[in-house]
Structure 1
Amino acid sequence: MNKQLITLALVGLSTMPANAQINGDGYYRIQNAKSGRYMTLCDNHSKGIDYSATQAETGALETRGDKSNIISDPGSVFYIKKISGNEYNIISQGADMHSMTNYYIKIIESSYTKGAYRAYQTSKGYALYLADKGFKDGISYVTTSSDYKEYRDWYITPVSTETDNFIGITPNIESDGKYFASFYTGFAYDLASSGMKAYYISNVDEKSGIAVYKEISGTIPAKTPVYIECSSKDVADNKIKPLADNVAAISGNKLTGVFFSVGNWRSGHYNSVQFDEKTMRTLNVEDGKLVYNTATDLLATTEVCLKPGSNKNEDFANRTTIAHNTNYLSVANGTAASLKLLSEDEYKSTGINDITIDTCNKPANIYNLNGTIVRKNATSTEGLAKGIYLFNGKKIVVK
């Protein structure tokens, strides 16, 4: 088995305990019986197996003790499908482990902790069990070292909107009394709480500084970057229900999703997307209105490896990155820093074109799209900020 296959297999190992064969195929969370931390997939890479030490590098699997963080983290949710006996296929963050590794993962009941399970795979005659590394603070990662035998037992809990082990959206944006969040996950899902809505960006008018949004009705397909309108700022009011069966992908979505944003010096895992203000816009609020702009307040700060493979301190630095399980909007260099959001109907009704009017012989008031006068008895748009205005009964664009 080559190194890449071993790598992906070990990522799958992390999710193994999730199925627990008690409740059949479905979505689960995995909690270490001793540390209490939850497993979450934070990367899709591994350095493989060190045969001399009979260990596998499984730092792609973080463990976190903060349940409030886990509740909104799709990386903490694993779909486990029984194949036969104690072998399982695992799907997480859009990755089918068997299709990439060509073998399945083994799950057995623990004989040491009631109701817990152990997960392992064998290679060259060695059984490599997953264990929590055992750091004393809130974040650690998974290891196969025999030094952590007491951390090998994992509880498996089905994800359900009817229990406290649900998946919910934690909003981080408020606009016009409503709450929003950028979101991206590898599984299809329904919005399970009333009042929730999901939107994607169907068009970007870079000349006019507009991003056009469209609501998704029904199931949100897997790997669909969206922004969610939440029922409230309380995560318990913003539940989603993961679905095993996918639906057709949405065509024309201009958003790009990001699964991972990790820079972990302990495990050596670095997988992130650096933010570029020239070509990227992310969901934010400006003057109380939703926009896609270049503000970095809601983005992540992640340690990145400037020279992959390097161990020198000077080759690592903190950078602004796209937060995990969120999305960004790609734009052309030179696009306005802030893009106003309009629905498709609003955008069509504006009749926006590429006409730019700088002067006019007939004085008239100039209005913005909210109906507010921005200049009285004007004969020119010169000096106005870039945007769309009403002038002499026409909708115009100031570039």
Structure 2
Amino acid sequence: MVKHLHSVLTLALGFFSVAASAQAPATVTKPDDGYYRIVNARQRTDGKQYVYVTGKIAAQPNATKADATTLPGTVIHLKTATSRTNADWLDVTTLRSQGVDVINDYLNPAIEKVEKALKDKLNEKLGSTWGGIAYGIFNTSVIGQWDLKMHLKPVTTDGRTAYYAFATVPSMRPICDFWHTYRLAAGNALNSYPNLKSALEANNPDKVWDEVLKLALAKIESSPYAGTDIANVVKRYINADRINQGQTYYLMSGALKKIDNGRAYNPSDLTNTSHNEYEGTLPKFDFVNNNNTDTYFGPELPVTGDAAMWILEKVDDTNYFGVKPSTNMRGRDGKYYTTLYVDFPYQIKGDVKAYTIEGVEAKNADGYYFAKVKKLAQQGDVVPAQTAVVLECNSTNPADNQLLPTGDETPETSNNRLCGTFFGEAINGLTVKDGTGAERNVTRDNIRAFNINTADSRNPIGFYKVKSNVTNIPGNKAFLVLTNAEAQAKGFVLEFEDGGTTGIETIENSRHSTEDGVYYDLQGRHVENPTRGVYIVNGKKVVIK
């Protein structure tokens, strides 16, 4: 059965895990607040051990170390505080990746909603007097037993420091006791929930948990979360006899299966008796507990081994994050170009330049539309959080294009027209924000994706209309969303502040720049009285200061 809501939500977002039977040190050393990757301590043959966030309620330990190098969804902002209740524990105060803060934006607010909904329902069904009494008992004996903090406790495995996170499942026993004490006063309050009422009448706290989970599942299946990981988690724990009231539960990589051989657990005769077995063929999350009284299948936690331990790898020069431009996205300047949109701010460590798009320009005499490029940052500078950019690199090797996450996820407003999304989503119906904070509704007609125009002999790099068979926009990439007037153009070539373009044979070679002594602007228009700026004269760039 499922533990409390804390653990369900934690699993659904899939970030942390837990432990095996290792001994914890006497004191806990708080890790630095910062950006980490979370690695399962179990050595998988396929190397998929890194937690990878793939959606708002979806994450799995399904990335290799090589994958993690370039996947923003493996970069997790972690902040902890020493627990007030136990000096050997840490409380997780921030657990964030890809725009989702599990603790502050999702978990705690969700639990507050559950508590309020429960109180309102009890008042509705039992009246304010009995409802208040029922909620008081529930709040003290059930919700009060929920440890709303996500705790981390260090362990050692193979000489390495690892952590496990845990939460406590409240027992439904006090609810059963309340029902049998006050059911005459409750009257017909639960007639609309016959199965739950039957479980209470049977004085069976495990069955009560089952019915609560079924009600929760019905709510989930009628919400946008239907069919998602969180729904599947709840399903797996219904009628699974894994509640173990009041126990601590740990998140692990893999799964645990119960082998029923018809006879109670005997550790010296697993072949002929019922027992737990570890199932680690797929990289996914599950829960185990610390119960040692399940005499039929035996204790769960010792079976999991290192699969219930997690190692924190600080994202740094060794465990770096970098970008890998496609070899096809090479401009005639020899540079490689890509786009990036991530939740975290980062310092540029490699020889990389970051650019924003400040606007788009009308068609010039050669038939090109331009996206006006503005340099935002270069080596040593910091790009603010949630800033969609074009990156210029000298190499396609991520090791040469390192970006060090640093700081908090506080976005800065700007004139940047680029937009982005953290997860791959359908184009039509998608709403995004540009650098100004303005919301833009995305359609197939108004989106322009970063690409190279292979149909043009000059192969210009820029933002182009997507092909008819493309229905999704990838996550962590930047794109343009145009106004109706701007959307008349199928594509926009990059134009830099100095007048340079990427991937074009340069405007100065065009037919509009061959007349001696005649000035043209960068859009190919004849200028009678040039002032300060960049112009084309006799096929060459001229800067007037």
Q: TM-score range by the shorter chain?
A: 0.5 to 0.7
Q: Tell me how far 1:120 sits from its aligned partner.
A: 2.6
Tell whether 2:45 aligns with 1:44. no
Q: Tell me how far 1:95 sits from its aligned partner.
A: 3.3
| Cα separation, partners in 2 of 1:26 and 1:393, compared to 1, 3 Å | same
Counterpart in the other structure of 1:168: 322
Counterpart in the other structure of 2:335: 178
Task: State which of 359, 371, 374 in structure 2 corresponds to 1:203.
Answer: 359
Question: For each residue in 1:364-384, what CA deviation from the matched residue of structure 2 results, as whole angstroms up to 9, or x when unmatched?
Answer: xxx98333228999xxxxxxx
246-255 vs 149-158, which moves further: 246-255
Aligned length: 318
Counterpart in the other structure of 1:259: 422
Quick check: 1:15–1:80 contact (8 Å CA) kept in 2? no
Task: State which of 153, 165, 169 in structure 1 corresponds to 2:309.
Answer: 153
Larger radius of gyration: 2
RMSD: 3.9
2:417 maps to amino acid: K
SS at match of 2:499: helix
Q: Tell me how far 1:247 sits from its aligned partner.
A: 6.9
For 1:7 and 1:374, how far apart are their aligned partners in 2? 66
For 1:345 and 1:8, how far apart are their aligned partners in 2? 51
SS at match of 1:155: strand
Tell whether 2:55 aligns with 1:67. no
For 2:363 and 2:514, how far apart are their aligned partners in 1? 25
6-15 vs 210-219, which moves further: 6-15
Question: For each residue in 1:210-264, what CA deviation from the matched residue of structure 2 results, as whole angstroms up to 9, or x when unmatched?
Answer: 211111133100011111112311111011111124676141111111111279x
Tell whether 2:395 aligns with 1:244. no
Quick check: 1:196–1:230 contact (8 Å CA) kept in 2? yes
SS at match of 1:283: strand
Quick check: 1:192–1:238 contact (8 Å CA) kept in 2? yes
Question: For each residue in 1:337-390, what CA deviation from the matched residue of structure 2 results, as whole angstroms up to 9, or x when unmatched?
Answer: 11111124539xxxxxxxxxxxxxxxxxxx98333228999xxxxxxxxx9544
For 2:6 and 2:370, how far apart are their aligned partners in 1? 44
Q: Tell me how far 1:204 sits from its aligned partner.
A: 2.1
Counterpart in the other structure of 2:91: 87
1:200 maps to amino acid: T
Q: Structure 1 unaligned segments of length 5 or more: list them.
A: 46-59, 264-270, 302-318, 348-366, 378-386
Counterpart in the other structure of 2:508: 370
Quick check: 1:283–1:292 contact (8 Å CA) kept in 2? yes
For 1:275 and 1:68, how far apart are their aligned partners in 2? 33
Task: State which of 289, 298, 302 in structure 1 corresponds to 2:460.
Answer: 289
Tell whether 2:374 aligns with 1:329. no
1:179 maps to amino acid: Y
| Cα separation, partners in 2 of 1:340 and 1:13, compared to 1, 3 Å | closer
Counterpart in the other structure of 2:387: 224
For 2:449 and 2:383, how far apart are their aligned partners in 1? 20
Quick check: 1:13–1:120 contact (8 Å CA) kept in 2? no
Quick check: 1:199–1:227 contact (8 Å CA) kept in 2? yes
**Could you tell me the TM-score, scaled by structure 2's length?**
0.51
1:190 maps to amino acid: Q
Counterpart in the other structure of 2:372: 212
| Cα separation, partners in 2 of 1:248 and 1:75, compared to 1, 3 Å | closer
**In the TM superposition, what are the counterparts of 1:8-157 in structure 2 within 5 Å?**
9-10=10-11, 14-15=15-16, 21=29, 23-34=31-42, 35=44, 36=47, 37-45=49-57, 60-85=58-83, 86-89=90-93, 90-100=95-105, 101-102=107-108, 104-110=149-155, 114=159, 115-124=161-170, 125-133=246-254, 140-144=283-287, 149-150=304-305, 151-157=307-313
Compare the two structures and name the one with the higher strand fraction. 1
Percent of pairs identical after alignment? Answer: 25
SS at match of 2:423: coil
Counterpart in the other structure of 2:263: none
Q: Tell me how far 1:276 sits from its aligned partner.
A: 4.4
1:336 maps to amino acid: A
1:284 maps to amino acid: N
Quick check: 2:31–2:80 contact (8 Å CA) kept in 1? no
1:43 maps to amino acid: G
SS at match of 2:284: strand
For 1:222 and 1:368, how far apart are their aligned partners in 2? 34
For 1:14 and 1:332, how far apart are their aligned partners in 2? 39
SS at match of 1:346: coil
Q: Tell me how far 1:80 sits from its aligned partner.
A: 1.2
Counterpart in the other structure of 2:192: none
Counterpart in the other structure of 2:492: 339
Quick check: 2:356–2:376 contact (8 Å CA) kept in 1? yes
Q: Tell me how far 1:107 sits from its aligned partner.
A: 1.0
SS at match of 2:471: strand
288-297 vs 7-16, which moves further: 7-16
1:87 maps to amino acid: D
Q: Tell me how far 1:160 sits from its aligned partner.
A: 0.8
Quick check: 1:189–1:242 contact (8 Å CA) kept in 2? yes
Q: Tell me how far 1:38 sits from its aligned partner.
A: 0.5
Q: Tell me how far 1:31 sits from its aligned partner.
A: 1.2
**Could you tell me the TM-score, scaled by structure 1's length?**
0.67
1:214 maps to amino acid: K
